[in-house]
Amino acid sequence: MAVDMKIPAVGESITEVTVGTWYKKEGDQVKMDDVLCGLDSDKATFELTAESDGILHILAQEGDVLPIGASICTIDDGAAASNGAATPASTEPAKAEAPKAEPAKSAESAPALQAVAEPAAAPVATGSSVIEMKVPAVGESVTEVTIASWSKKDGDQVALDEVLCELESDKATFELPAEAAGTLRIVAQAGETLPIGALIAKIETGASAGTSQPAPAQPAPQQTTALSSNGSSQHGSAQPGYAANHPSPAAAKILDEKGVSAQQVQGTGVGGRITKEDALKAQPAPAQTAPAQPAAKPSAPAPAPAASGNREQRREKMTSLRRTIARRLVAVKNETAMLTTFNEVDMKPIMDLRNKYKDKFKEKNGVGLGFMSFFTKAVCIALKEFPAVNAQIDGDQIVYNDFCDVSIAVSTDRGLVVPVIRNAEQMSFAQIEKEIVRLAGLARDNKLTIEQMTGGTFTITNGGTFGSMLSTPIINAPQSAILGMHNIVERPVVVNGEIVIRPIMYVALSYDHRIIDGKESVSFLVRVKQILEDPTRILLDM
């Protein structure tokens, strides 16, 4: 009897889903609650689990869009009977092949046939199993990850929950723990980019013999050929595995750049696969370039005035985070009407206030009083008066936010990240400073979650910490504006008809002209300037 599996209702407003990656294949034996495939909606990704034991028959392929309630696969309950019948049937052809091989070489072929037959039966006797490790779902909007580095090597013994490698997405870095104890077999090398659900490694569990016997079982057909044509050598032709002379994507790119053929490289990976390290060590064949040298000697004086010193180059693959930053910045430049307006702020009132109360502030709250809390409070007050600066465009609609989720740009070794201070308009100076310290620490330790970096309504970035005098910051989409802070420099200014020296900071507001008019942008920045130059306005809400 076949069980008809249908698309379940996965959300109140979701009417259709897209079939993601199938984790099982057509005809596979599945068990109750086994994960069969992933279902992608416009809001999240869901897993489809088996409703019974049996043989899987797939009706919809990856990428198909199905409505809720549509049939996606069936599970045949008669799996046990079919499996039981398959065992004797599969052994009969093996027995039938032996008489065919005997006339070829009477005495010499018999040992050869035994050598081939024994590895095939060995894995069944050990009772070992193979656990497939796949790329887990690490976030709602994350579709692929890059293998940053392997903590273990191919063939290492690993324990349950031991960290195998680091996976790097465009948002954060994750660790991949072992799902079982056993021998690690690496499938994807460091530097490769894999989609969610892709096979990354295998773990061979069970008896220790199970780790060594599957290796000769793969090249068994090649070993038979070697014994038939050259009876004295059993191991020479069996050395290349199923992936011999096949480079990984990262290795293939390096070989192309070097102009080296994959056939010239001896792979050290699983099954003879050419790894990234093999490609880096590979060198072009010197025999091909040697004849060309004498012919080129007459023209050798031409390139003589070569530049001296170290002129080596190196290439590094862009991280997922860097690729995402690049893609989003280009999209913002292309999809928004971005302009920047400037002003300057006399920082003396804030600096005097800080110098007067910073020691008592730190003693009471356990955190220092910085400039960022003043700017955050000033921005929140100005955003209430100019709601368009706190809004964003969604299709043909403008979404206005009655709250201020302020994103704070933080520079890390991996790139710029922008964690969010939620409801900053309701927070005190101490609460803002503590939240900034907490989020900045998580960012530098690569421990920020996706939720902590999404959903902001306005962004503040401080290039002044690196010495920037003036800049035009780029909008953090889908937000509509960003405030840029810069370094503080003492300059001569006119105050009450007299020239005095004051600490001045240039501030810049980049905004999307599609939603924010010039009058609003300039007025917003002037309002921020007024509040910062007279901080008592924050206390009096003026």
Question: In the chain, where are the structural domains located?
Answer: 2-80, 110-229, 249-284, 336-540
As given in the structure block, the two tokens for residue 4 are: 């008809």
Topology of the domain covering 249-284:
Dihydrolipoamide Transferase (4.10.320)
Alpha-carbon distance 318 to 504, whole Å?
38
Structure confidence at residue 383 (pLDDT): 96
The answer as to CATH 1.10.760.10 being correct for domain 110-229 is no
pTM, 2 dp: 0.51
Q: CA 184 to CA 158: how far, in whole Å?
A: 7
Q: What is the pLDDT along the chain (542 residues), one digit of tens a residue?
A: 788 889 888 766 678 888 888 899 998 999 888 889 988 876 667 788 888 889 999 999 888 888 888 899 999 886 444 444 444 334 444 443 444 444 444 334 434 334 333 444 444 444 568 888 998 887 666 788 888 888 898 989 998 888 899 888 876 777 889 888 999 999 998 888 888 888 999 999 875 434 444 444 444 344 433 333 333 334 433 345 555 777 776 777 788 777 788 777 878 776 677 877 788 888 776 654 444 455 455 555 666 666 778 888 888 888 777 887 888 889 898 999 999 999 999 999 999 999 999 999 999 999 999 999 999 999 999 999 999 999 999 989 999 999 999 999 998 887 788 999 999 999 999 999 999 999 999 988 888 888 898 889 999 999 988 999 999 999 998 999 999 999 999 999 999 999 999 999 999 999 999 999 999 999 999 999 999 999 988 887 77
Question: Which pLDDT does position 116 carry in this prediction?
Answer: 38
Sign of CA dihedral 281, 286, 287, 289: positive
Domains 2-80 and 110-229 share a fold: yes
Contact 340/508 with Cβ under 8 angstroms? yes
Alpha helices in 149-248 (DSSP H): 209-212, 214-217, 220-229
Active-site positions read 513, 517
Q: Which residues does residue 133 pair with via DSSP β-bridges, in sequence order?
A: 201
Q: How many angstroms separate the CA atoms of 467 and 478, rounded?
A: 28
The pLDDT assigned to 129 comes to 85
CATH superfamily of 336-540: Chloramphenicol acetyltransferase-like domain (3.30.559.10)
Instruction: Return d(Cα 279, Cα 281) in angstroms, integer.
Output: 5
Domain 2-80, CATH: 2.40.50.100
Q: H helices within 201-317, ranges in order? A: 209-212, 214-217, 220-229, 249-258, 276-281, 286-289, 292-296
Q: Looking at this protein, which amino acid is placed at residue 11? A: G
